[in-house]
Structure 1
């Protein structure tokens, strides 16, 4: 088995069409078909089913696809690590980011790490929370940030910072006459909520807040979005109200959006640092300490 076999297989598995996969790989279709056949012979399993309805992965193919992606990712990380070492870095931390973690918070932390330990290269990668969990379990990432603290026995999750919830409101909306909003008043209007796949942690935290209001009918959901940027776009277009934080809103420039704090509740979006429970490197330990230190400083700024 050669690396090209893995690359070819992943392309066909993602396209589920040999001609499109060949075009994507910039090769002819016949050598691609031969390479897939060679791979199947080497593995002694059938990876694809082909008939008049098209091309489909077998169950063995689906299992192999997950492993092939991990192998290619590990190879890419090894390449980046070697490049970093050649440029004088003495370590690399691979950090996964999910759930629309506030970019300003992360930028401040990374800047502090770069200032205090410039010889350690930090490589953040954005992905779904499900992919982050898989990557952390299989050692593809050293740590991760997410809005979900429900980890498993193999991972340790610790809250690192809280951002008070703010309501994103379209300009010229009737609720803007109030300097603060009651949650019950917010629920009278359509909402733009996070998507349960891409922003599962954010949705879970917001849903807990919504469930805390009794005697109010279920809110109307105008849209379910996969990013905070898209949520703000939908809000600015007048589709509904959105739940965000002042930190998040500051990272995205939308002149047609005004924010208001919630009155009577101390609701916040919590960000968690996830780490494997195995023995960590000294670089990762120092990174975690800085993340907690950043949380303390952020809390002090909010109080002041």
Structure 2
């Protein structure tokens, strides 16, 4: 017994006419009639009573028709589910993200995809870049958005945007009154950095910028959250170099542009061979909605 036997029987049950039912199923009447007889033979029951004028369902046929309606509805739902999943329009997507994305259009990206694809469930999991890499490799997330990292060969990645780095100082810091700010003005300051084990490339980039300015930074504190960095700076606990978008956090600190064009990259990462449609769809929304902030003006 094949699925077509059931489709043919449902058409006959609703049309009660072999010719019309065959036409509805896009076959000629002889093979249609054969299929109905095959179904009856397989079940060993009579499903329809035939005469020269009428076609009527037997009690067995009536019972089968009721069940087959529900079954074919479920089959249709299964087909639709498979199609939606294959097109990335249904399913769950676990997304690792870095806190700074809150100021780069994360909410707009998620809202746009959820509005366009209401059957896609996006679960956001905040984690540092290195944690995202490990979570991708372990299958705990489907896609990650991290900052400036060396991506293992088993992962694919694409750069979504570049964000300028800026100096973050307390609101009343003397450097804010300087006519021409130079990074070496902070050589005697204590620096607050993002934890090196969580983002080694960022940490080394900050050290490199200071060395290029003629001094080795005094790293006093290392933390896991950008907002923590800025909050600590606002409390006078040190200075920092942060992505420009953090200026939008609203925390009590001041930002000064760097003379150099130093940037940090936002990368989208996923496991090689896992280019499922939902991941590719999300990548498209990321390219359209994630953005670098405008250049910070010296305060």
Report the equivalent of 2:286.
291
Structure 2 gaps, min length 5: 1-84
Compute the TM-score of the two structures, normalised by the length of structure 2.
0.62
Report the equivalent of 1:69.
none
Q: Is the 8 A contact 1:166 1:245 kept in 2?
A: yes
Structure 1 gaps, min length 5: 1-84
Larger radius of gyration: 2
Report the equivalent of 1:39.
none
**Cα deviation, residue 103, structure 1:** 1.4
Match of 1:278 among 260, 273, 278: 273
Match of 1:217 among 208, 215, 220: 215
Compute the TM-score of the two structures, normalised by the length of structure 1.
0.61
Spell out, residue by residue over 1:255-304, the C-alpha distance to the aligned partner (whole angstroms, 9 max, x if none). Answer: 3x1111112x1112211111111142211111112212335xx36966xx
Question: What is the RMSD of the two structures over their aligned residues, measured on CA atoms?
Answer: 2.6
Report the equivalent of 2:177.
177
Aligned ranges 1:21-36 → 2 under 5 Å = none
Q: Is the 8 A contact 1:128 1:197 kept in 2?
A: no
Q: Is the 8 A contact 1:102 1:248 kept in 2?
A: no
Q: 1:171 to 1:111 in 2, by over 3 A?
A: same
Structure 1 distance, partners of 2:151, 2:132, is 11
Q: SS at 1:101's partner residue?
A: helix
Q: Is the 8 A contact 2:97 2:126 kept in 1?
A: yes
2:263 pairs with 1:261: no
Report the equivalent of 2:102.
103
Q: 1:207 to 1:156 in 2, by over 3 A?
A: farther
Q: Is the 8 A contact 1:149 1:159 kept in 2?
A: no
For these two proteins, the number of residue pairs brought into alignment is 208
Structure 2 distance, partners of 1:158, 1:210, is 28
2:198 pairs with 1:203: no
Q: SS at 2:100's partner residue?
A: coil
Q: 1:149 to 1:129 in 2, by over 3 A?
A: closer
Q: 1:115 to 1:207 in 2, by over 3 A?
A: farther
**Cα deviation, residue 170, structure 1:** 0.6
Aligned ranges 1:1-304 → 2 under 5 Å = 90-98=90-98, 100-105=99-104, 106-178=106-178, 181-213=181-213, 216-251=214-249, 253-255=250-252, 257-263=253-259, 265-295=260-290, 298=291
Q: 1:133 to 1:192 in 2, by over 3 A?
A: same
